[in-house]
Structure 1
Amino acid sequence: MKLTVVGCSGSGSGPESPASSYLVQADHEGRTFSLLLDLGPGSFGALYRYVDPADVEAVLLSHLHPDHCLDLCALYVGASYSPTAPWRPAAVYGPADTAERLVRAYDVAVPPGTEPAEPGRGIADYFDYRTWQPSQQIGPFDVTVTRVAHPVEAYGIRLTERAGSGASLVFSGDTGPSPALTELASGADLLLIEASFLDRPDNPAGLHLSGRQAAELGSAAGVGAVVLTHIPPWHDPDRVLAEATPHFAGSVELARSGARWTIG
């Protein structure tokens, strides 16, 4: 399993990176299977550095805040209007109202009695929308999810490669401290975990993690390595890393746009 950071900026795109998006690839049925964890603002364009977006077979949404899903609108435009269009519709996994959320983001109201300006299938009909189940098979991966602590319906996602070494990757999405995420991450090879806050006593509860809290969660789960992500542009990533490092005995790294890991 290979992980490539397409975008890792928290709460929006940043000066060095698009917003949340991670490319995960593995061999499957004689080809490379490519899926995305989230597709936040700016990540669709950056994706061209690593893979043809037409080859993405699934998009897994941790939740429907704009910094995690809005570049599905750009993917839809590419799939509909690029020179190689139409593209095979990707499967989009997310909360039950994912299609409706994207319609609100993309569609523009037209005057009563007029026809929509765009021909063909709209964004609500283009993708193969699938509501998260506790477990599902997606290409070469067994994928399990759990609700995490966030103000909206949000999920931690675990991918386990069915072939070879059975490598495992857990993505926290956005979450505050969460026993359910600790359980989901138990024994994972790599934990890609948000660290949006500096370590302060007055941080809002049930919203995000600090670097220290992310490292402590990784330690409690017994993961092999921790990668800190979703750091917003107003925080110094190196300070977040410094706050995390004493609380995890193994490797703690920062996610950076373009960084890659081979897992397993």
Structure 2
Amino acid sequence: MRLTVVGCAGSAPGPDSPASCYLVEHDEFVLALDLGNGSFGALQNVVRPGDVDAVYLSHLHADHCLDAAPFVVWHRYSGQSDGRTVPLYAPVGADRRLATAYDPDGGPIDDVFDVTAIGPGSWTLGPFEVTTARTAHPVECYAVRLTAGGRSLVYTGDTGPSDAVVELARGADVLLAEAAYPEAPDLPPGLHLTGRQAGEHAAAAGVGRLIVTHVPSWVDAQEQLAAARAVFPAAELARPGAVHDV
């Protein structure tokens, strides 16, 4: 598998990165994990939108899904789409949420996306075996494990400390984990991880590598990385445009 970081800014686009969007490729199949705001432009530096075979949205907060709207625009009006619908996997209500984001009248988007509602479970998507787990977040959000060619990648989406995410990541080759919270007292529960907590999840799961992501522009990313490395040395920081072999 190959992982490309399209955007990795947490909670909103930053000055140097769009919000969350990652491409995972195997056997010429291209899967987009999240389409956060600002990501569609950067996506086109990596792949033609028409070559994206499927989309997985961890949840329906704007920094993870809002650029589904320009994805619709491209498919409808660029003249470059082949007319096929793109499978889109997301929590219940994604069809209404994305249609409203595109058009306040909420017209259908089924000419572009074939939307499937997800929950905890497993299925096959192209070359990938997919397994999901509900995370600790205020809205319905699903971490995802992708396995192909004997390798495995887990993406947390957004989560606070979560035993379910640790179990999902057990023995994975790469854990792509959010770390939006700086170390501070009285952090709201069930929302985000600190850098240290991302490292603790990686260590508890016994993963091979940790990639720290979803750090907001107002949080010091190097401090988040240092906190993760203090408990899990095989950690690195997600950077837009970076390509990782899993």
Name the TM tier (shorter chain).
over 0.9
Give the 3-state SS of the residue equivalent to 1:35 in structure 2.
Answer: strand
2:222 is matched with: 238
Q: Contact (CA 8 Å) 2:180, 2:192: kept in 1 or not? A: yes
Q: Aligned AA for 2:26?
A: A
Gaps of 5+ in 1: 111-115, 117-121
| The one of 203, 211, 215 aligned to 1:219 | 203
How far apart, CA to CA, are the structure 2 residues paired with 1:186 and 1:127? 32
Q: What is the TM-score normalised by the length of structure 1?
A: 0.90
Q: Aligned AA for 1:5?
A: V
1:205 is matched with: 189
Q: Deviations over 1:76-134 (max 9, x none)?
A: 00001003135422100011211011122111349xxxxx8xxxxx4245311111150
Gaps of 5+ in 2: none
How far apart, CA to CA, are the structure 1 residues paired with 2:81 and 2:57? 23
Q: Contact (CA 8 Å) 1:54, 1:87: kept in 2 or not? A: no
Q: Does 1:132 align with 2:118?
A: yes
How far apart, CA to CA, are the structure 2 residues paired with 1:53 and 1:25? 14
2:22 is matched with: 22
How far apart, CA to CA, are the structure 2 residues paired with 1:125 and 1:82? 14
Give the 3-state SS of the residue equivalent to 1:129 in structure 2.
Answer: strand
Q: Does 1:93 align with 2:79?
A: no
Q: Does 1:154 align with 2:141?
A: yes
1:108 is matched with: 104
Q: Does 1:123 align with 2:109?
A: yes
Total equivalences in the alignment? 245
Query: Which deviates further from its counterpart, 44-53 or 141-150?
Result: 44-53
| The one of 58, 64, 72 aligned to 2:54 | 58
1:261 is matched with: 244
Q: What is the TM-score normalised by the length of structure 2?
A: 0.96
Q: Deviations over 1:216-242 (max 9, x none)?
A: 000000000000000001111111111
How far apart, CA to CA, are the structure 1 residues paired with 2:47 and 2:83? 14
1:10 is matched with: 10
Q: Aligned AA for 2:79?
A: P
Give the 3-state SS of the residue equivalent to 1:50 in structure 2.
Answer: coil
Q: Does 1:68 align with 2:64?
A: yes
Q: Contact (CA 8 Å) 1:196, 1:230: kept in 2 or not? A: yes
